[in-house]
Amino acid sequence: MRAKDFEFTVTRTEDVTPDYLRLRFTDGGMLAVTGVHPTMRVRLWFDHAGKPHQRAYTLVDPDPAAGTFGLEFALHEGCAGDWARAVKPGDTIEATVQGTGFDATAPAPSHLFVVGDPASLPAVNSLLGALGSAPATLWFEGALDGLPCLADPERHEVREVPRRDSSAHLVERVRADLPDLLRAHPDPYVWVACDTATTRTLSAFLRKEQGAPKQRMHALGYWRTS
């Protein structure tokens, strides 16, 4: 499966908000082996009632020369959030790098449309940085107050959407807003990263109802509701 395994060591913890935590790590030699690309993910392994459980996280500010990076945790209930709340400098965790990559779109997006939430915010930030000057519209489920969003008000429009009815409200907003916006731009690109069920619903809407070609969209579930 071309997976690569590493051990990361926590060097620092930072409370961003009561429900959002940033951790810094040394990489155990990972970045020298893998290199770095936008939206790069690693899979951490947690203990869940005596069984291994993995979750994927996007690298934040990776520094290959120093062998360091950050990860940001939206503190949902569960073994990953429990680990992140309790961890301290010097603690270690096993990680796997597998199935991660980034393909630049051609032609470059005339406008980027993004649907995300706190769990995918690090990947959203990485994507906005990778696509340079492309303007973007972001539907963000939840409030960005206090969170490290890199959206530039001069180029990016952020539409905050309250989480209601297990994300049905977010789906309704995107279905209402997006079709006219897609038609208004010659080379749009759509990137969706929410909970798995919401991502699947929006992916089907884009493909079946809006006719979005697969090379002009990306949809990946970042977490599962319990």
Mean of the pLDDT values across residues 112-134? 92
Q: Are 62 and 31 in contact (CB under 8 A)?
A: yes
Mean of the pLDDT values across residues 116-134? 91
Q: What is the model's pLDDT at position 136?
A: 96
Mean pLDDT of the chain: 92
The topology (CATH level 3) of 111-219 is: Rossmann fold (3.40.50)
Confidence of residue 224 (pLDDT cuts 50, 70, 90): confident
- Whole-Å CA distances, 72 to 17, 22, 31, 48, 85: 11, 4, 18, 20, 12
| Per-domain residue ranges of the chain | 4-97, 111-219
Q: What is the model's pLDDT at position 99?
A: 63
146: nearest Cα among 17, 14, 2, 8:
17
Q: What is the model's pLDDT at position 81?
A: 93
Q: Of the ranges 97-111, 116-130, 165-179, which one carries the lowest mean pLDDT score?
A: 97-111
pLDDT, one tens digit per residue, over 27-71 is 999 999 999 999 999 999 999 999 999 999 999 999 999 999 999
Q: What is the model's pLDDT at position 98?
A: 74
Q: Looking at residue 214, what DSSP letter applies?
A: G
In the chain the beta strands, taken as DSSP E runs, fall at 4-17, 20-26, 41-48, 51-58, 60-63, 68-74, 92-97, 111-116, 136-141, 156-161, 188-192, 217-219
- 3.40.50.720, 3.40.50.450, 2.40.30.10, 3.30.70.1710: which CATH number matches 4-97? 2.40.30.10
pLDDT, one tens digit per residue, over 141-166 is 999 999 999 999 999 999 999 999 98
Integer Cα distance of 209 and 203 in angstroms: 10
Integer Cα distance of 133 and 144 in angstroms: 22
Residues in the chain: 226
Q: Which residues pair with 45 in a beta bridge?
A: 54
Q: What is the CA radius of gyration of the chain?
A: 18
Integer Cα distance of 192 and 198 in angstroms: 9
